[in-house]
């Protein structure tokens, strides 16, 4: 059996280029004792992967040059040398960016394709959803009646943050997005109270118009001018959860910081970074609460699906460009 898999050939400088990567063929390795072989059906591409392409020290090890990349994936077990996982089972794992993956069964989590579509375990019911849930409720300490602003509101994480805030009793939910169609989606389908296209004018001005009474919580997926605008609109005791800063991921020079950090003194505001790996203990609570919302349609989600392993890189670049609405998924 021949496997197709993506390798990182060189570390990108600025925007990743196709020549930094290669789709190569490799032999599929049969599983040994305690291992499983999975035929991947859906792969995840996410903004954080840009950081792993750099050699800079971070919270996760960089991708190794000349070796297969990794990412979230869900697939079907086609051979098993492990107790408790049988051929035909479906599992969630991190052996993505390839068609087949062989790894220790301890690194896999069984999922039920009858309970929910397989792709949702990479998004709304997976780490994406848990990131939104933990970031809003634990990191940002959301309280009923809070006014919430989320940047990247039409993205996989941002769209869930806004909807969870609404379902939990936010007084007002505001989102930013990169197109008028996405703004319409936030208001008409996801139930945001207001939204704006950040390309249509200064973010600070648009946020003040959308939230004239200020904001209590900001969930940051973008950084840059969005973070500065949020600090400017923060109410007393406001909280900012920093999940991502996609606006600076491809910068070759350090981005200037917000110019109004001194306002945190006046508002007694707080900024805290967020890594979902610190909040796995919330997974059972997350599934118990959010699962029924998804099943009932109270919490809606979108997926942007790209077909074929050969298009995995283009799907990833699309995430960096903001081409996706909701979770970007590669279907094999």
In terms of Cα–Cα distance, which of 182, 169, 163, 184 is closest to 293? 163
Q: How far apart are CA 268 and CA 238, in angstroms?
A: 7
The reported pLDDT for the residue numbered 182 is: 96
Per-residue confidence in pLDDT tens, the chain, 332 aa: 899 999 999 999 999 999 999 999 999 999 999 999 999 999 999 999 999 999 888 878 899 999 999 999 999 999 999 999 999 999 999 999 999 999 999 999 899 998 889 999 999 999 999 999 999 999 999 999 999 999 999 999 999 999 999 999 999 999 999 999 999 999 999 999 999 999 999 999 999 999 999 999 999 999 999 999 999 999 999 999 999 998 888 887 877 889 999 999 999 999 999 999 899 899 889 989 998 999 899 999 999 999 999 999 999 999 999 999 999 999 99
129 CB-side CA count, 13 A? 27
Name the token pair of 299.
């919490």
Condensed to tens digits (0 to 9), the pLDDT of residues 168-186 reads 999 999 999 999 999 999 9
The reported pLDDT for the residue numbered 254 is: 79
Residue linked to tokens 């996760």? 60
The reported pLDDT for the residue numbered 151 is: 98
Residues 29, 5 contacting (CB under 8 angstroms) = no
pTM for this prediction: 0.86
The reported pLDDT for the residue numbered 158 is: 96
Q: How far apart are CA 247 and CA 59, in angstroms?
A: 19
CA distance to 56, 165, 179, 272, 304, per residue, from 96 (Å): 22, 31, 30, 30, 17
């Amino acid at each position: 059996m021949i496997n197709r898999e993506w390798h990182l050939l060189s570390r990108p400088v600025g925007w990743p280029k196709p020549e930094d990567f290669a789709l190569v063929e490799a032999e599929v390795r049969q599983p040994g004792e305690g291992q499983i072989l999975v035929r991947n059906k859906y792969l995840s591409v996410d903004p954080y992967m840009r950081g792993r392409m750099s050699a800079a020290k971070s919270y996760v090890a960089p991708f190794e040059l000349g070796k297969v990349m990794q990412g979230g994936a869900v697939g079907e077990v086609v051979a098993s040398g492990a107790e408790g996982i049988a051929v035909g089972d479906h599992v969630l794992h991190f052996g993505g960016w390839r068609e087949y993956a062989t790894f220790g069964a301890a690194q896999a989590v069984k999922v039920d394709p009858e309970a929910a579509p397989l792709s949702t375990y990479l998004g709304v019911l997976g780490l994406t959803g848990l990131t939104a849930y933990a970031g809003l409720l634990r990191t940002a300490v959301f309280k009923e009646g809070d006014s919430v602003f989320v940047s990247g509101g039409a993205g996989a994480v941002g769209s869930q943050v806004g909807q969870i805030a609404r379902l939990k009793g936010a007084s007002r939910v505001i989102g930013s997005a990169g197109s008028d169609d996405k703004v319409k989606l936030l208001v008409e389908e996801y139930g945001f109270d207001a939204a704006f296209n950040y390309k249509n004018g200064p973010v600070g001005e648009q946020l003040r118009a959308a939230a004239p009474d200020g904001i209590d919580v900001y969930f940051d997926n973008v950084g840059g001018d969005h973070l500065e605008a949020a600090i400017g609109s923060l109410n007393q005791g406001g909280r900012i959860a920093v999940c991502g800063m996609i606006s600076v991921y491809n910068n070759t020079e350090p981005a200037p910081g917000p110019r109004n950090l001194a306002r945190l003194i006046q508002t007694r505001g707080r900024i805290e970074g967020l890594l979902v790996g610190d909040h796995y203990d919330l997974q059972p609570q997350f599934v118990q609460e959010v699962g029924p919302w998804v099943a009932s349609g109270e919490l809606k989600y979108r997926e942007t699906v790209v077909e074929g392993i050969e298009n995995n890189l283009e799907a990833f670049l699309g995430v960096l460009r903001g081409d996706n609405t909701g979770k970007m998924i590669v279907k094999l």
